[in-house]
């Protein structure tokens, strides 16, 4: 999918203007290319920040200065990619950055593809596949919980846990294979009772690891929450209050909101996509009617519906099917009447909003007491399920034998379990899997 023998270059900082911009160059020619592009005049000292001037050659071959830069050389194998890497920190002008990248390409590098630096780190053994996947999760994190879960995997916690289970499986398989290889001796290198105890222990460890998967996916993927209700009950005001800015238009005219307005917010560490919807009512206005249709559509796909009602009015409440959290707005107004099972809030004063945030987190299943989950990725969870199924199959095969162990059947199941665990860590991979993982990355990472 990628060539790993050439030298690649890319801008490592986000698009747009900034105080600093970073250009990363990796590959066998990295140090030589940077030496030709800069005024340093000699090899760079490893891991030492050096002030220099970056230049390019014009049409006549004369050197034209581009910018001052801090150049740092990371020799192989002690770099992010495991190759020679040079990072140039310059001013964050897009013109400057793109000019330097083009100069590097003219000097023998090629433009990196998305995720290519991290792919080289994986292929060179600097990180494993869960750590590579954690890199993009950490970049994409928008809440502290997401960042903590991604960093935990980046530190290799999941890999160590999988490795411990895999080592125990390897030991069992080695002893079972010895029993299969020497059947005439009639000697089992592992007794049925000890094997069954080991399988029970391994299954329990896999179950424990899998138990964090639901919370992990919840934290990683977040949830969609739709704010639904009749006209002028304060849906958009509540939306703005939860977002913390005037994102949706608010007026006293019923039917102001005609389309869906979305915003991503952090609610108790959970990534929540809030959806503000049009007021649900019968209307002859074609545009407003389309907005109502979209409101019902948003409610159907939402993980939670906040059904907003005007606490100062006895008007009817729209009938919405799905997981509903009822909220009575305008608790600051005279005539407000609280009701059981309806959370009282004021979008104007902010009263009750903290309780609403906590209620949203609880209703979508977020558990405050859960420690940092080790499983957050659906790919890992599905493979873990496969490994557990194989272990349970081996346990049943052993029990069916009634103590007269059939090593071949048990061994086949254990091999299947190990294959699933090795696919999690990346010891068994396909090009399609790597393409899928690394295509999610930004260029420069």
Predicted confidence (pLDDT) per residue in 2-36, tens digit: 567 899 999 999 888 888 999 999 999 999 999 99
CATH number for domain 222-363, candidates 3.30.1600.10, 3.30.470.10, 3.30.70.120, 3.40.50.300? 3.40.50.300
256's enclosing H/E stretch is: none
What is the average pLDDT across 286-296? 74
- The pLDDT mean for the chain works out to 84
pLDDT attached to residue 4: 73
Sorting pLDDT into bands at 50, 70 and 90, what band is 376?
A: confident
> What are the tokens at 318?
């729209």
Interatomic CA distance for residues 62 and 120, integer angstroms = 35
Sorting pLDDT into bands at 50, 70 and 90, what band is 148?
A: confident
Could you state, in order of their start, the residue ranges of all structural domains in the chain?
8-127, 144-212+374-425, 222-363
Smallest Cα–Cα separation from 234: which of 323, 340, 315? Answer: 315
Size of the chain in residues: 445
pLDDT attached to residue 388: 93
pLDDT attached to residue 389: 93
pLDDT attached to residue 90: 95
Interatomic CA distance for residues 420 and 383, integer angstroms = 5
Sorting pLDDT into bands at 50, 70 and 90, what band is 120?
A: very high
Sheet of strand 85-92: strand arrangement: 50-57, 63-74, 85-92, 18-26, 8-11, 110-111
**352: Cβ–Cβ under 8 A, 6 or more apart, which residues?**
331, 343, 344, 345, 346
pLDDT attached to residue 47: 94
- pLDDT of 44 > 60? The answer is yes
**60: Cβ–Cβ under 8 A, 6 or more apart, which residues?**
none
pLDDT attached to residue 181: 62
Residue-wise over 190-213: b if at least 16 C-beta within 10 A, else e?
A: bebeebbebbeebbebbeebbebb
What is the average pLDDT across 46-70? 89
What is the average pLDDT across 348-356? 91
pLDDT attached to residue 366: 79
pLDDT attached to residue 139: 86
Query: Is residue 433 left, alpha or beta, with left meaning phi > 0 and alpha meaning psi from -120 to 50?
Result: alpha
pTM: 0.74
78's enclosing H/E stretch is: none
Sorting pLDDT into bands at 50, 70 and 90, what band is 356?
A: very high
Sorting pLDDT into bands at 50, 70 and 90, what band is 89?
A: very high
pLDDT per position as a tens digit, 229-279: 888 888 888 888 888 876 655 555 555 555 678 888 888 888 898 888 877
- Bridge partners, residue 63, by sequence: 57
pLDDT attached to residue 402: 55
- 138 φ, ψ to 5°? -70, -40
- pLDDT of 431 > 80? The answer is no
pLDDT attached to residue 184: 54
Q: How far apart are the first and last CA of the chain?
A: 16
* CATH class entry, domain 144-212+374-425: mainly alpha
Sorting pLDDT into bands at 50, 70 and 90, what band is 94?
A: very high
pLDDT attached to residue 111: 94
pLDDT per position as a tens digit, 410-427: 888 999 999 999 998 888
> What are the tokens at 397?
């095969």
Confirm if 146 and 373 have CB atoms less than 8 A apart: no
**Complete DSSP assignment for 130-171:** HHHHHHHHHHH--SHHHHHHHHHHHTTHHHHHHHHHHHHHHH
- pLDDT of 379 > 70? The answer is yes
- Bridge partners, residue 227, by sequence: 276, 306
Half-sphere exposure of 427 (CA within 13 A, CB side): 10
pLDDT per position as a tens digit, 196-234: 888 899 999 999 888 888 788 888 888 899 998 888 888
332's enclosing H/E stretch is: none
The share of the chain scoring above pLDDT 90, in percent, equals 32
Fold designation for 8-127: Gyrase A; domain 2 (3.30.1360)
């Amino acid at each position: 999918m990628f060539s790993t023998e050439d030298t690649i270059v890319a801008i490592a900082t986000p698009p747009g203007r900034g105080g600093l911009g970073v250009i990363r160059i990796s590959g066998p020619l990295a140090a030589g290319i940077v030496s030709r592009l800069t005024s340093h005049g000699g090899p760079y000292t490893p891991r030492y920040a050096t002030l220099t001037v970056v230049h390019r050659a014009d049409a006549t071959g004369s050197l034209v200065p581009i910018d001052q830069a801090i150049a740092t050389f990371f020799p192989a194998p002690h770099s992010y990619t495991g190759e020679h890497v040079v990072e140039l920190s310059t001013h964050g002008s897009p013109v400057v950055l793109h000019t330097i990248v083009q100069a590097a390409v003219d000097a023998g590098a090629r433009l990196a593809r998305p995720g290519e630096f991290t792919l080289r780190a994986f292929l060179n053994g600097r990180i494993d596949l869960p750590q590579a996947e954690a890199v993009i999760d950490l970049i994409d994190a928008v809440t502290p919980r997401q960042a903590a879960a991604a960093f935990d995997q980046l530190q290799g916690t999941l890999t160590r846990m999988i490795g411990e289970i895999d080592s125990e499986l390897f030991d069992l398989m080695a002893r079972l294979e010895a029993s299969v290889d020497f059947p005439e001796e009639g000697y089992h290198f592992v007794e049925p009772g000890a094997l069954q105890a080991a399988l029970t222990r391994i299954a329990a460890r896999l179950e424990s690891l899998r138990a964090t998967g639901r919370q992990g996916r919840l934290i990683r993927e977040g949830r969609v929450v739709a704010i639904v209700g009749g006209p002028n009950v304060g849906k958009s005001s509540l939306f703005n209050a939860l977002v913390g800015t005037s994102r949706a238009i608010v007026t006293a005219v019923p039917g102001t909101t005609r389309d869906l307005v979305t915003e991503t917010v952090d609610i108790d560490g959970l990534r929540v996509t809030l959806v503000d919807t049009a007021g649900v009512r019968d209307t002859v206005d074609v545009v407003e009617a389309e907005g109502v249709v979209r409101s019902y559509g948003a409610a159907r796909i939402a993980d939670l519906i906040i059904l907003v009602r005007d606490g100062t009015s006895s008007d009817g409440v729209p009938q919405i099917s799905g997981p509903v959290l009822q909220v009575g707005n305008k608790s600051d107004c005279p005539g407000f009447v609280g009701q059981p099972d309806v959370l009282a809030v004021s979008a104007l004063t902010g009263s009750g909003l903290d309780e609403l945030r906590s209620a949203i987190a609880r209703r979508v299943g977020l558990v405050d007491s859960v420690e940092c989950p080790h499983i957050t990725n659906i790919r890992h969870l599905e493979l873990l399920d496969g490994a557990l199924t194989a272990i349970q199959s081996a346990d049943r095969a052993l029990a069916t034998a009634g103590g007269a162990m059939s090593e071949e059947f048990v061994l086949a199941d254990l091999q299947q379990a190990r294959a699933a665990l090795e696919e999690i860590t990346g010891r068994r991979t396909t090009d399609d899997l790597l393409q899928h993982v690394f295509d999610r990355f930004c260029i420069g990472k």
